[in-house]
Chain A
Amino acid sequence: MMFADADQFFVRLKATWVALFPGQMQALVSVTTNAVAIVVTFALLFAVTTLLERKGLGRMQNRYGPNRVGPWGLLQPLADGLKMLIKEDIVPTGADRVVHFLAPVTLVLCVILGFAVIPMGHNMAATDLDAGLVFFFAAGAGSEVAVFMAGWASRSKYPLLGAMRAIAQVISYEMPLVLSAVAVVMLAGTLSLVGIVQSQEGYHWGWLARWHVFTPWGLAGFLLFFTAALAESNRSPFDIPEGESEIIAGHMVEYSGFKYALFFLGEYLGLFALAGLGSTLFLGGYLPPLAFLNWVPSWIWFLFKLMMLVSVFIWLRGTMPRLRADQLMEFAWKFLLPMSLFNLVIAGAWKFSRTWSVPGGNLSRWLMGAALLALAYLALSRLFQARHKPRVYRYV
């Protein structure tokens, strides 16, 4: 019983708080509380992640991260925030002031909207929309316009080039992202994210969770989603739009002070949203991985999965060099897109073969699916790398 209490702690806290208000205002108070709670939680998580990233990257590069401000550098986000706040806000003379101002606002707005449908625990989705997944992608579509606004309003070449490349990258990687999500929708039978999590309830053989990632198409889909999510949030190795040694800061170069902090915030919140969506679609959202661990509250599982994904993102950032713009686009269109289409076919086959009586049962279905996907992966890799012969330098 106590574990159920811990699980529904926030739900009941909110219910108590909303009950304090008269009946007329309760709906408004409920919605506002949800919004405020989400914004505050994820802003705090953003602060923690910046510190985690800097220290993690430092350790991976055999150096300490920030360790001066507070013990082990724990107050570094505070110092960063203060710095961003007190910086002078410079707007270029030729810039379009209205659009220049609205760009970071639009970005953060669209990104925060996406959090409304992610189930963060049992009964803890802010809104359980019937077409929740589509809403999430719709909210992400607004951020592309924001990037363009930022790039164009600055009226200078670097931001314009950066914005064009950023938008090209985002729309190219949107395809594998959506297609791998569609495979999940096909299997779960619903577009609602709460429904998708609920379709992953139950345990194989009584102890291993029925997450989508434990199926061959789920694993491939998860890796595809993961890669596309890295690219969607302009994160290394796909950070050509904001690579400091390439294009200074791309579409954000003419921004300073708090507006830059808003862009930064928007980027990280986008990362959280996509990581949250990835764990909802493939890793079972707030469900525990093993049956005997279901005494841990569901929101702790969600947070744990989110932070695990973010840690892997940081790990990738510390490992890989930046992809060039054309390598990036090639990767999306010539490798990820065919792979995700094939994954869709395998997912369909998986769904339909559930009712067939296949010799060997589920295990043979699993192996067959895995074998087909591995074959496709190898074939595509060969095709993809056939064009990339080692460079021949001729000093003629």
Chain B
Amino acid sequence: MLIGASVYPLPGHQRVRSGIEAMADGGRKEDFYINVSADRILHDEAGVAAYPVPAMNGGAGQYIQAEVFQLRNADRQVIGLASRMRGIVPDSAGSPTQAVSWVLFIPSRGSLVLDQVRVMTNGLIPEMEAVQQGRVVTGDGEFARLKGQYIEALVVEENYDSGQQERFILLSTRLRSGAS
């Protein structure tokens, strides 16, 4: 009985090859992809007006948005889940900014937390630039004690099987041990 209980096959996670590239400065680069049309699993958003909190200049009429996607590696294999939350928050001076926060969860490896803050002008969120940059805040598991930066971009690729164009969110991370 004791042996049976100790060797019972509880669920685990399959792991696929990690696409980590070593960088010349001693850091590591790893790219993650999300298929914009196919990978969104969950989505919810709420008007800020539904929350009885003090309104901010430029925050009126805004929404907070929560999404969950499948996360893919550079070979476009599904390796995990990614959540993204967006909304208006104050900066250190109390002015409204748009915050975007990601959690990348790879069950067989651990997690990474990414965020970026975009300064609003005249109460408006600036147009999305082709490439966004942010910081890697923390991680756990295989990503524990790694910090750094990330780049977020929209990339369009031709799917040769379907002949259709596919759009991917690219999250390209540059990590170093304990770096800021």
A in complex with B:
no
